[in-house]
Amino acid sequence: MTPMSHANPETPGWVVSVRLEPPSLQNNAADADRLGLALQHQLRAACIHMDLSLVAQLPPLFRQANYHVRCVLFRDQDAWVLVHVAPQKQPEILAGLAVDLGTTRVVLRLVDLEKRIILAETAFDNPQVEIGPDILVRIHHADQPGGLAALQQKIVHGINTHVAELCRTCGLNTRRLHLISVAGNTAMSHLLAGIPVHWMIREPYIPAANRFGLIPADHIGLLAAPNARVWIFPGVGSYFGGDLVAGIIHTRMHRSREPVLLVDVGTNAEVVLGNREWLMACAGAAGPALEGGVTRMGTTAGPGVVDRVRIDPHSAAFEIHTIDDLPPRGICGSGIIDLAAQMFLAGMIDIRGKFRPERFPKRFTTENGMHHVTVVPAEQAANGQALCVSQADMDSLVRSKAAMYTILETITGSMGLTLEEIKRFLVAGTFGAFIDPGAAVTIGMLPDLPLACFQPVGNTSLAGATLALFSRDAVAEAAAVRDGITYMELNVNQDFMNRFSAAKFIPHTDKRRFPSVVAPVSPTA
């Protein structure tokens, strides 16, 4: 995460200290107007909105605080909203909540808006999974009577439960939460806001909103201070949500002189290419080839999950690594990529990804007529069941890697660039955290760039959501980034299917693109 900084202390944040001139017969502006005008002047804002219930607090508060106060504000487009006022000399923490609103997993981060530090963090499975593991199922569920409300209620209840616990660990009341920033995909953002998703998945794929404005937390039902606001990162369209805008903001690729590629593999594979002058984006779900998804394979990365595999090409001895070095209980996506790369280099799969049981027959089994490769024998596995990967899993990986490579090729090609011209290749999410770029290059999922080009950038949604709470500039830039992104619809792209077919070989039909991938050991042995 080295080159991506969090809030620069020089950048203005959302907490502003104001010393007001006390009223007199000569200066008899009303309390709310006095503060509003001072803030307008200090922030160069055209007008400052404040809720009536906040106005009602000002007269006694000003006199108690001797007209020296701290204000929590937020700005969305041209609208500034004052959400809280506290005496300057009161040691009350002004807190905020950053939310990475994932389809399967939700991460909450509690922050101090004034000191701009992270206080605590927690994560939980999206409770909407009970209704549907997959976003499409949830979108269909929303069409049923009460369905949308039920989905909203589940996620709101989930966040409320976990934020209450998170606050408790920090000795805070949830009424200290003044700002909540949310980075999620377009469907999840809609489901949190409780707005219809019906037309999102029907041509021409129109969301209800791409910009959500500043939402009073109580309109959604989120636990927070009485005048707290929720800001949902704006999205670009049904298949390009605020989570990616948050990622762009966090990685600062929109300020880079050289073109940068950002790949986020969550439920979909989403790719942004750009620099400080332009931003081009596309998402895997838009391509029919990605049906089945990149990350459908394997177990979610976690303790005891196989994330690394080494195969001795001569003995076929498997050396595995698990997260936290616990007994193996599953294989995650990056483990399968590693496995595929190592099997390819050991000649155990051919260039189409088909198993070659003749190479080391002892590693293979057949079940219902389908070949499986044994990664961990039963006696070494955590639950006494052998960990296997089937030919179907491998076929799925090949389709996924082909889709990923094709997306990368298509997006760079659309800008007149080749993949070799990309000097910074950012890989977000758990995929980025665990993947071995070398293995991904070997199977032709990622382009054959020097390995130093690949940088894991972690949970960019969460980092972007945090940044929105720390930096006014970040929020302004998010709006500008959103407006400046060109979204490329892959399913209307004619070349895509041809390129996809060529990429369904390991590493590729055109081997010159992967000079670093050495030919597998005795492919015909």
Give the residues lining the site for a second copy (CB under 8 A): 23-25, 28-33, 36, 46-47, 49-53, 55-56, 58-60, 63, 77-79, 193-196, 198-199, 203-213, 215, 219-220, 235, 237-238, 489, 492
CB of 156 to a second copy, least distance (A): 13
- Cβ proximity of 109 and 246 under 8 Å: no
Alpha helices per DSSP H over 172-226: 186-193, 217-220
- Residue 355 Cα to chain centre, angstroms: 34
CB of 424 to a second copy, least distance (A): 30
Q: Which CB atom, from 198 or from 354, has the smaller least distance to a second copy?
A: 198
User: Dihedral of the CA atoms 303, 304, 309, 311 (nearest 10)?
Assistant: 160
Local structure of residue 452 (DSSP, 8 states): G
How far apart are the C-alpha atoms of 196 and 482, rounded to whole Å? 21
Q: Which CB atom, from 80 or from 431, has the smaller least distance to a second copy?
A: 80
CB of 312 to a second copy, least distance (A): 52
Q: Which CB atom, from 142 or from 309, has the smaller least distance to a second copy?
A: 142
Bond into 447 cis (ω within 30): no
Give 177's strand partners: 95
CB of 433 to a second copy, least distance (A): 32
Identify the CA nearest to 184 among candidates 247, 229, 137, 121: 247
Q: Which CB atom, from 21 or from 130, has the smaller least distance to a second copy?
A: 21
Q: Which CB atom, from 124 or from 199, has the smaller least distance to a second copy?
A: 199
By 3-state DSSP, what share of the chain in percent is helix, strand and coil, each rounded to 5?
A: 40, 25, 40
Residue 121 burial by Cβ neighbours in a 10 Å radius (0-12, 13-18, 19+) = middle
Q: Which CB atom, from 14 or from 239, has the smaller least distance to a second copy?
A: 239
CB of 498 to a second copy, least distance (A): 21
CB of 245 to a second copy, least distance (A): 14
Q: Which CB atom, from 3 or from 146, has the smaller least distance to a second copy?
A: 146
User: Measured at the alpha carbon of residue 522, what is the angle toward residues 310 and 443, in degrees to the nearest 5?
Assistant: 50
